[in-house]
């Protein structure tokens, strides 16, 4: 009887130790993700280049009149490509709403996708997206050669591509605006530029 009690106690001790180890590992993984935070948007080499004028397109809009790519003169556009089955896309929707509200003085934000209309209407209702232009068009995705999601394109008030790329976080979304302001299309380009400058300085020395 004593052996049975002892074995049960020992088993519970082992279980508790394992739980403690799992919690410790989970905490360390969380810290690691914070330290290795995502950098700028990963730019795509396909589709219209940075500085190139986007083609004029009138696209079906699930939330109202046709969506005009390029928008009214004097207004910039952020086009966010998403999918109804993309969890990261859905996780970024609060950030998209916040950017739309914070930058409404100069920026129009539109959502874009393709596929079955019914699935997108369910997403619009579930995520309260009725206030966004929601372009449902495979032509738009093909124009920008969108192969992976979530993807975003920042179009200037002059109708030219200012920045674009894969975006997995709010930081990467905001990096598109930084790219537009600095003229450096991506974090990767900034690093390459810095490395080139460093190498040039070393050669001169």
For 186-201, the pLDDT digits (tens) are 555 555 555 555 554 4
Q: What is the DSSP letter of 148?
A: S
Tell the CATH topology of 57-192.
Glutaredoxin (3.40.30)
Per-residue pLDDT tens digits for 57-99:
999 999 999 999 986 677 999 999 999 999 999 999 999 999 9
Distances (CA, A) of 2 to 7, 8, 9: 9, 10, 11
The mean-pLDDT minimum among 4-8, 21-25, 123-127, 187-191 falls in 187-191
Structure tokens that stand for 183 in this block: 């003229």
Residue 86 main-chain phi, psi, to 5 deg:
-100, 110
Distances (CA, A) of 72 to 52, 80, 106, 108, 154: 17, 18, 11, 10, 14
Residue that has been written with the tokens 């490395």 in this structure = 195
Parse the chain into domains and list their residue ranges.
Answer: 1-36, 57-192
Residue that has been written with the tokens 């490509």 in this structure = 81
Q: What's the whole-number mean pLDDT along residues 160-189?
A: 83
Question: Does pLDDT of 162 surpass 60?
Answer: yes
The structure's pTM equals: 0.72
Residue 149 main-chain phi, psi, to 5 deg:
-125, 155
Give the integer Cα–Cα distance in Å for 130 and 120: 11
> Taking all residues of the chain, what is their mean pLDDT, rounded to a whole number?
82
Question: Does pLDDT of 181 surpass 90?
Answer: no
Give the integer Cα–Cα distance in Å for 189 and 195: 10
Q: Which residues of 18-33 are buried (b: 16+ CB within 10 A; e: fewer)?
A: eeeeeeeeeeeeeeee
Cis before residue 43, ω within 30 degrees of 0? no
The mean-pLDDT minimum among 50-59, 68-77, 158-167 falls in 68-77
Contacts of 62 (CB under 8 A, 6+ apart): 117, 120, 121, 124, 134, 135, 136
């Amino acid at each position: 009887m004593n052996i049975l009690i002892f074995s049960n106690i020992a088993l519970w001790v082992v279980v508790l130790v394992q739980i403690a180890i799992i919690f410790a590992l989970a905490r360390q993984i969380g810290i690691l993700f914070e330290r290795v935070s995502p950098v700028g948007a990963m730019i795509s080499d396909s589709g219209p280049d940075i500085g190139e004028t986007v083609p004029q397109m009138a696209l079906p809009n699930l939330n109202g009149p046709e969506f005009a790519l390029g928008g009214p003169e004097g207004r910039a556009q952020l086009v966010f490509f998403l999918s109804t089955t993309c969890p990261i896309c859905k996780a970024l929707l609060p950030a998209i709403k916040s950017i739309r509200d914070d930058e409404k003085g100069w920026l129009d934000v539109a959502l874009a996708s393709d596929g079955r209309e019914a699935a997108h209407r369910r997403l619009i209702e579930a995520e309260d997206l009725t206030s966004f232009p929601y372009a449902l068009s495979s032509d738009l995705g093909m124009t920008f050669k969108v192969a992976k999601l979530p993807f975003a394109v920042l179009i200037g008030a002059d109708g030219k591509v200012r920045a674009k790329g894969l975006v997995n976080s709010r930081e990467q979304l905001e990096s598109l605006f930084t790219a537009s302001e600095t003229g450096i299309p991506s974090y990767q380009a900034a690093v390459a530029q810095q490395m080139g400058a460093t190498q040039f300085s070393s050669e001169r020395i």
